[in-house]
Amino acid sequence: MTARVIDGTAVARRVRADVGRGVAELVAAGGVAPGLATVLIGEDPASEVYVRNKRRLSVEAGMQDLHRHLPADADQATVAALVDELAADPAVSGILLQLPLPEHLDSDALIARIPAAKDVDGLTTANAGLLAQGRPGLRPCTPAGVMALLDEYEVPLSGAEAVVVGRSVLVGKPMAQLLLARNATVTVCHSRTRDLAEVCRRADVLVVAAGIPGLVGGDAVRPGATVVDVGIHRGEDGLRGDVDSAAVAEVAGALTPVPGGVGPMTIAMLLANTLTAARVQQGIGD
């Protein structure tokens, strides 16, 4: 058996095209193009690349690029004032505070200043609470992207056994909640889980977001299962994920590649969130 490849690049392209059409419809209905405020603190090369890609794709979708950049030595009060300024600006539909921040800054306190309605990363406690209660809100981009991939490839979720490896606030916890909302039976694994491979083998849908290269091998996958690899790591041989893809591809029914799987979906869902936020704020459409 060779697993079917779940092509995140192609799905992300379609999502971005849908967002572009949605932006055009919003403007045609008398609204204002969504404004995405990306906030970069310092000169971290990886963060600069991520932010540049987010800005480029938001502009391609017809959005306003409202980027702000502060030096690495900006203090807590300065960054907080900037977040408050963006929160009060009606031109700003969404605020994205690029993480990680310099070590001297309290990222939790700064994220808490972002209004839930403009929290397009879905990281505030308000949006986390809405997700936990199954109420409408802005969802974290990576787990939302995973759900979009599963839907695109028509992976059955209702009644399915789903296993999530990882319990981070960014991915693992919201991923489990999104799967629960679709009536999957969900198990969350973590560093204290006994016999990880045995638990993973129960899964019809296995989502691996542990941040450990090659953690899940072929022996941890049920034959025919759908495996989603959220991890991405740079090594001597290029990029790899949390899954031993060569081994797992011989067992799984479907598998996301690294790169080209979940990664492209994260920015696509950020744009979708920004459009949703703009529609709600302007009272047009959604």
Report the run of H or E that residue 41 belongs to, with start and end: strand 35-41
The residue behind tokens 């491979």 is: 197
Long-range contacts of 69-74 (CB under 8 A, 24+ apart): 69/39, 69/40, 69/41, 70/39, 70/40, 70/41, 70/42, 71/41, 71/42, 72/41, 72/42, 72/43, 72/102, 73/102, 74/41, 74/102, 74/105
Selection from 276, 275, 269 nearest residue 62 by Cα: 275
* Tokens (6 digits) for 254: 């479907």
* Tokens (6 digits) for 233: 């790591």
Give the residue numbers marked as catalytic. 54, 98, 121
Query: Which residues have CB under 8 Å from 282's CB, separation 6+?
Result: 26, 31, 32
Concatenate the DSSP letters of all residues of 94-117 into one string.
EEEE-SSPPTTS-HHHHHTTS-GG
